[in-house]
Structures are given as C-alpha cells and as structure tokens.
Structure 1
Amino acid sequence: MTETTMNALVSPEGSLEILSNYEVNRLKDKSEGGLYRLFRQCALAVLNTGVETDDCKELMEAHADFDVRLVPQPRGLKLELINAPGHAFVDGEMLRAIREHLFSVLRDIVYSHSLPNSVAGFRKDNPEDLTNLVFHILRNARVLEAGRQPDLVVCWGGHSISHDEYQYSKDVGHQLGLRGLSICTGCGPGAMKGPMKGATIGHAKQRVKNGRYIGITEPGIIGAEAPNPIVNELVIMPDIEKRLEAFVRCGHGVIVFPGGVGTAEEILYLLGILLHPDNVDLPFPVVFTGRQENAEYFEMIDKFIRNALGDEAASKYEIIIDDPIRVAQTMKQGMKDVETFRRAMQDAYYFNWMLKIDPVFQLPFEPNHDNMRALELHRDQPVHLIAANLRKAFSGIVAGNVKESGIRQVQEKGPFEIAGDPTLIKPLEAMLEQFVAQNRMKLPGSSAYRPSYRIVSGAA
C-alpha cells in the first residue's frame, strides 16, 4: 500500500515565529555550508513521529520528493510542506504535537548555528565555551526552569528491545511518575518511550499537572529515532557530544535499561565523567535495571566495565533487577541528595555547573574509517581516556548502523575497522556479538543486521 502524502502550509506552534533575513537565507541555502539539508532531514524525522524505523538513509530515500520551504508572512513566517507523510495529519490538519516539534527543530537549528557566530571570541575547542553553548541552547528551548526542585530522571536504553523489556521500562516510569519525577530520554522508541508512557499514568494518578517528558536528540540520530508521541519538550543539540552533555547537565540522575551500542556509548560517557577526581563527591544517582531475564545482560555490562575501567567505575552505579519500586525509591532519594548538595554548594538545580567534563568528552568525534582505525584502545593511558576512546568506538558503530553519513561510508568502503590491546578488544568483540545475537542492533522486523564494524588484530 502506497503511503499518502500531503501538502500543507503550517503556522508556528510554540516557538520561533520570526527569523532574520540572514537566518532565512541560511535555511534556504542548499550548499555544503547551508542549513537546508539539515533542516529538511530533521523536519522529515519529526513528521514521522510514532513511526518506528532505525535507518535514516532509508527514511530519506523513501521520501525523496519531500520538501520544506519557508514562507515569510507580514507578522512572522509559515512552513510550506510538500509531499509530507500523511500520518502526520488528521482530517487534513497536522497533529499539534508534530507541529510543535517541527518548530522546535527550526528553533534549535537556527539558534545553535547562529549563536557561535554572534559571540565574540567563541572557540569550538574551548571547554567553557562548549558548556555555555549547551546551556544557551537548553535555555533558549525553555528546558531550564529556575526554582524547580531536582526531579528530572534521564532514562537510557535501546530502541530495539523486546515487548517484555518495553513493559518493564513502562513499569519503572509508572513508579517514577507516582513519585512526582519527570522523564528525559533520547526521545525515540523502545526504552526511550516506555518510561515516558508509564510516567504519564503515574502523573495522572497523582494529578501532576506539570510532568515533563523531555526528548534530547541530534541531527544525525533523529532520522533513526524519530520523536515518540509522548515527548512534550523536544531539543535538537548540534552533535552527539553536546547531546550527552545536555543529559548530564540538566538531568539529576540516570536509569539505564538494556540496550545496544548506543546505550554502551552513553554508559562509557557517564562513567568517564564521574571518574574524574573533581567529581568524586558529587552526588549523581545511577541505576542499571531490567527484568530477571536481563540479569545476565547486566552481568556482561558490569564485567566489561570492571575489565576496562576498574572496580571504581563499577562503584558509580547500582544494579537493580526486576524491582521497579526500588528503582524509583532509589531515584527519589537520589533527588533529595542532589538537592541537599546543590543547596549547600549554592549551585543551580536546573543545570549542573559543578560537574567537571574533560574536553576529550566534549570535542566532536567524526566517525570515519581513518579515525576509527586510529582509536587508542590500550591500557597505557588514564582510565578516563580509556572510557573516552571506547565511547568513540561505540559512537562509530552507531553511526554505521543508523546515521545516514555512517551508513553511506560503510556501504562505500566496507565496515569500520577497530583494533587495539587484546585485553580491551576481545571483551569488546564478545559484547558486540551478544548485542547482535540479542537483536539489539536493529529494530525487530527490519532487514537482517549487517555489521558496520570489523575487529582486526594488532594494536591501533
């Protein structure tokens, strides 16, 4: 059955009703330095809200005739959509949530590309400038709420999970919602949707009127993980590094559900930061959780972490199996600890300024064949650098799995090659094999997974 498409003229909903001539021209610019292609890709992803796909390249090719144009108006602007996916509309009217997300995309792309050019002396390799950029994007998106007590739980986990794993993530979200906690995820399906869906019921039972379901994504991943329908605040960060920093700066604790390479990347990023000496006394509750059937999965993750980063890294999280109530209680207590600490240190509740993030975790890593082969995966370096380089390895695999540019590179030149110290590489290879065997690399029902990586012998 051929999918229906629609043409529509859409008015702003929620944010950014006016643009400068410079901003309009950049959004129309189809050259390499312009923003048209980026905006079109993210807009198409938002129009596919609720449609589960994990192949950005496939999505773009399936809607090759889709177009989005800016239409200046006397009192602002509108978007003209050509051949937009029909499921984004009901009786000819665009769903309100999708319309909000569409203009969130416009807001964030314009702002994140305009701000560095408008700030005198901004440096893309300066840690303080990068953190300030993350702060300003979040503030511009109105994610940061002054005066609100710590209540934001970041939930990480796979987009490709079983029905039972999804139900468990809903159960955890329900318990979090009953305790008045809000949810922040990567905004996609699976373990990113489940906690939000569960929390909506918990909030309804407690008559929580201001429950937040924040989705933080980035242009390279949004096509593979379109926003789920529950997200009520969408933020598009410029790249994966700033997306990860946004999670840990605005979130007050993290819950990790079973997932694949993207989840492993997030875990290594978080642990690499928490292992920094400046963060040793900083409260940041982290829980790994899943069903009883996931116990072996977390044993594997725990073993990998202890081998690569040591027992100190493992002390930064708690593993709780098959107990949503205890998970929620642990997070609730963690929120109290965060509040007490922030108040004592006179630090903001809404943005974790005190968290020390080494520049190696902030500077964007470009996944390509040369960079992947050159990763320093050996033990002759500080433990946080081991975490940083392993994080990059997983980031490259994610790119090869679901990001348009990564998929094209793998198709043209073959899988990314990963090499290094066998004591790091062999456990990495074993864990990746388990991710493949457990169908954590691709959505159920999609084409068979073809590895985007190859483990090769020899040091990097």
Structure 2
Amino acid sequence: MKKVQLNPLGWMSQLSQLEVSQLQDTTRSQLYDVFRNCCLAVLNSGVDEDNYEMLFAPYQDFDIRLIRRERGVKIELVNPPEVAFVDGKLVRGVHEHVFAVLRDMLFMGNKYAFLHDPVPADSVATTDMVFDMLRHAQALEGNDELNTIVCWGGHSINQHEYKYTKEVGYQLGLREMNICTGCGPGAMKGPMKGATIGHAKQRYTHGRYIGISEPSIIAAEPPNAIVNELIIMPDIEKRLEAFVRFAHGIVIFPGGVGTAEELLYLLGILTNERNAQQPIPVILTGPQGTEAYFEAIDEFVGATLGKKAQSKYQIIIDDPVEVARTLCESKHKTEQYRLAVGDSFSFNWSLKIEEAFQIPFIPTHETMAELALHSQQDTASLAVALRKAFSGIVTGNVKAEGIRQIKEKGPFQLTGEPELILRIDTLLQSFVAQQRMKLPGSEYVPCYTITPNE
C-alpha cells in the first residue's frame, strides 16, 4: 500500500482548529465520496478520457484521508495514480489542485451545506455564494485588469480545430489576456496552451490559466496540465454564473451539446432588457471548414430565440488576430460601463441573472420528459428549457449519475412541439455526425430519444 502525505498550500495552511475539526466530520459520507472522486480526477490531470468508469476503474483501492496537525491539516493519499508523480514526487500543480478540491468541496461545503439543503434560497444569495467561492479561491485578485477571456468549446474536436484554438490563445497571450475555461481537454486546453507561448514572448509573468469545473463533470474531464488555478463550483448553474460574472469577454469555439448549453444560457441572460447595455463581447469562431457548424448554430438560435439573441454575438471564421484584436479593443467599453454604473472590474455584479437560470436542474427521466419544449413562451423561459434539455444530454453522455440512469432505464425522452423538436433533433444529429459527442475513437450511443407531440 502506497501512502503519500501532503502539506497544505496557500491559505489552507491557516485553518483554525475548529475549521480542521469540521473538515474531519466524516458523517457526511456523500460529500466525502464526491470529494474523493474530485481528488482522483485531479490526480489524473492531463489524461484525455471522458468515460468516468474507464478513468476510475483502475483505482478502486484509492483513498484520501485528512490528518489533523496543530498547525492545520495534511492530506494523505492512499494508492494514488502514478501519472501524478515524477520520479516519485507529486507534481506541484497537482498538489495545488488537490488542496483546491479540499477548499471548494469540504471547506466551502461546510459553509453552504452542499448536497444537503437547497441553498442559497434566492437569486441574490446565489450570486453572493458564487462571489464568495471565487473570493476564497483568490480568483478575484488580479481580475481587475479587464483581461480575462472565457473560452468555451468542445472536448471532442479534431486536430485542425484544436490548432486553431491554440492560435487564438496565442494571439490573446500576445495581448496579455488571461484564459479561463472549463479546464478539460480540446477547446478548453488549446487556448491555454497557445496563451502560454504568447505570454512568454511578451515576458508577461502574470499569466493565468483558470479552470472552473463542477463535481459531476470533473470526473469526465480532468483538469488539463496547463490549468494553474482550479475552482470547483457545486453545480453547473453556479459554474455558468461564475463564468459570466468573471469574464471580460467570451470566445466560443466549435463544440457539442455542452457548448450549445453554455451559449443558450448566455443568450438567455443577455437578451434580458436589464442587460441591454452590458458590453460583453461574445465571439463564435473556428477555422476554415467550420462555417457549416456555425451556420447551423446561428440558424437554430434565430429560429428559437430570435434575431435579438443573434445580435448578441459575432461570428469570425479563420481569423485569430481579428478575434484577439476585437476582444482587446472591447476593454475600453467595459471599463467605461463598469465605472459609469459603479461596478467592480473583477466581478460583474450589475449583470442581471434571473432566478430561473440559477435553480439547479437535476436531469432524470421524469424531469427531462416534463421540459416545456414549445415556442409559446417568452424568450428567457424557452432559453431555460432548451438549456436544461442540453444539460440533461451532457449528463447522459459523460456524467456518472446520468450514465447510471441510462443503463437502468434507457434513454431520456424529449417530447415537445413538432417544429421545435425537429430543430433540436437536426442540431443534435449534426453534432453526432461531426463526432462532437465523444472523444475521437469512441462510438457514440445516443442517451436520448426525441418525440414530437401529436
């Protein structure tokens, strides 16, 4: 049996005796199971795998323990993956990430009763919680330079598209922009990799490569090797809110259903009249050959959420320099707007996010079947319903609890207005045909069926 003890890093080394006692409370077995799985995923940092069973199967004897010391808490790893070590020593970045998991899952979990109570109870409290978690992660420090670009896109992209994401990241790095992604492979890794070169050429020593994940997705998408700041939000809704309040600009690369979910969430917020003046640049971009992908996305948005939603983004094909230049030039507008409304540069408090976008959606066969997939509702409500539908498919594709449900009960069933359902099906089929649902080499078996109302 191999055991490795880790000393605490950062402010986790400054815990009080009461806080250490709370961390050692093993009565919350479900939270500890999630904590263990997140740590195991972090220890597999850089492994390209989107099947949680394949990732976790070799490590049934892995365990993680908290050891109380007078000056704080140590972590003991039992039979950890060898991939996390170099010449017998744990990689420094992985060491940091393990304590990031401790910070977010157990320390913040104690504060907010993760997995127990439906907290926070209202919109304001939810935003306060998102802010608090980013603050505890020390992510807001240094985020007042208006240079954080959130990059979304698929984990399953081809090499041509991956190289393009690196080139965009490189151009952003040359302009001293920092990168924030979902922390996994593919379009989440490429911009970070490119930015490291741009930062090095500019001798920019404050390069930040921030990965924001959540417990059920990190197991399927372990942090890529470039992430130097890891933040784990308690659920997908708070993860999405953290992205949009943290960002000074957003780039969306080609992706699958998860990327579509993120775009629908964003557009549902930006079409709110109270956000009409928000200067958040949103760019959809990809290399030559992705025109059809973005045309399909644009057509779907126009047919479902309307022209107003389409006006909230621009599509730039095969021009990394123009993408970076556009984002860099937007800094002045963002600065002027935040100053005018008295808002923070590091956290967008003034962005209005309705409670419907914040309430956690738990995909089950029942909740997926009950989604209101029809056009006879306002744009925000339709965006919420569509976002939930795509979120459920992500769950069925890669998340442990979703895969388990599909095995037990069969595919999720989506039912709705015939025209809308047909549009959803057409978009999803295009993702399947382009192999955007699973990593290359994996055969995709749909976790959903689509049926129009009679």
For the criterion TM > 0.5, the same-fold answer is yes
**What is the aligned partner in structure 2 of residue 331 from structure 1?**
327
What amino acid is the match of 2:24?
N
Write the distance in 2 (CA, Å) between the matches of 1:404 and 1:388. Answer: 23
Q: 1:16 aligns with which of 12, 16, 25?
A: 12
Kindly indicate whether the alpha-carbon contact (under 8 Å) linking 1:368 and 1:416 is maintained by their aligned counterparts in 2.
Answer: yes
Mapping of residues 46-125 of structure 1, within 5 Å = 46-116=42-112, 123-125=119-121
Specify the SS of the correspondent of 1:372: helix
Q: Give the alignment's TM-score, normalised by structure 2.
A: 0.96
Q: Give the alignment's TM-score, normalised by structure 1.
A: 0.95
What amino acid is the match of 2:327?
M
What amino acid is the match of 2:450?
I
Q: 1:152 aligns with which of 144, 148, 170?
A: 148
What amino acid is the match of 2:82?
G
**What is the aligned partner in structure 2 of residue 181 from structure 1?**
177
**Structure 1 residue 346, shift from structure 2 partner:** 1.4
Write the distance in 2 (CA, Å) between the matches of 1:164 and 1:384. Answer: 35
Q: Identity over aligned residues, as a percent?
A: 53
Q: Deviations over 1:338-382 (max 9, x none)?
A: 111111221100000000001110000000000000000111111
What amino acid is the match of 1:457?
P
Specify the SS of the correspondent of 1:84: coil
Specify the SS of the correspondent of 2:80: strand
Mapping of residues 284-433 of structure 1, within 5 Å = 284-433=280-429
Q: Deviations over 1:376-428 (max 9, x none)?
A: 01111111111110000000000001110001000100010001112211011
**Structure 1 residue 7, shift from structure 2 partner:** 3.0
Write the distance in 2 (CA, Å) between the matches of 1:70 and 1:393. Answer: 39
Kindly indicate whether the alpha-carbon contact (under 8 Å) linking 1:6 and 1:85 is maintained by their aligned counterparts in 2.
Answer: no
**Structure 1 residue 97, shift from structure 2 partner:** 0.1
Write the distance in 2 (CA, Å) between the matches of 1:24 and 1:133. Answer: 19
Listed as ranges, the gaps of 5+ residues in structure 2 are: none
**What is the aligned partner in structure 2 of residue 25 from structure 1?**
24
**Structure 1 residue 129, shift from structure 2 partner:** 0.2
**Structure 1 residue 72, shift from structure 2 partner:** 1.3
**What is the aligned partner in structure 2 of residue 452 from structure 1?**
447
Q: Deviations over 1:243-285 (max 9, x none)?
A: 0000000111100000001000000000000010100111110
**Structure 1 residue 145, shift from structure 2 partner:** 2.2
Specify the SS of the correspondent of 1:16: helix
**What is the aligned partner in structure 1 of residue 127 from structure 2?**
131
Specify the SS of the correspondent of 2:77: strand
Write the distance in 2 (CA, Å) between the matches of 1:21 and 1:146. Answer: 29
**Structure 1 residue 13, shift from structure 2 partner:** 2.6
What amino acid is the match of 1:303?
E
What amino acid is the match of 2:5?
L
Write the distance in 2 (CA, Å) between the matches of 1:428 and 1:450. Answer: 17
**What is the aligned partner in structure 2 of residue 219 from structure 1?**
215
**Structure 1 residue 117, shift from structure 2 partner:** 5.4
What amino acid is the match of 2:172?
L
Q: Structure 2 vs 1, CA of residues 312 and 111 (structure 1 numbering), >3 Å: closer, same or farther?
A: same
Alignment RMSD, CA only? 1.7
Kindly indicate whether the alpha-carbon contact (under 8 Å) linking 1:339 and 1:349 is maintained by their aligned counterparts in 2.
Answer: yes
What amino acid is the match of 1:40?
R
**Structure 1 residue 458, shift from structure 2 partner:** 1.4
Q: Structure 2 vs 1, CA of residues 168 and 215 (structure 1 numbering), >3 Å: closer, same or farther?
A: same
What amino acid is the match of 2:434?
Q
Q: Structure 2 vs 1, CA of residues 409 and 122 (structure 1 numbering), >3 Å: closer, same or farther?
A: closer
Q: Decide which moves more: 402-411 or 59-68.
A: 59-68
The size of the alignment, in residue pairs, is 449
Q: 1:262 aligns with which of 258, 271, 274?
A: 258
Write the distance in 2 (CA, Å) between the matches of 1:381 and 1:156. Answer: 28
Q: 2:158 aligns with which of 146, 159, 162?
A: 162
Kindly indicate whether the alpha-carbon contact (under 8 Å) linking 1:15 and 1:107 is maintained by their aligned counterparts in 2.
Answer: no
Kindly indicate whether the alpha-carbon contact (under 8 Å) linking 2:211 and 2:231 is maintained by their aligned counterparts in 1.
Answer: yes
Specify the SS of the correspondent of 1:267: helix
What amino acid is the match of 2:29?
S
Specify the SS of the correspondent of 2:24: helix
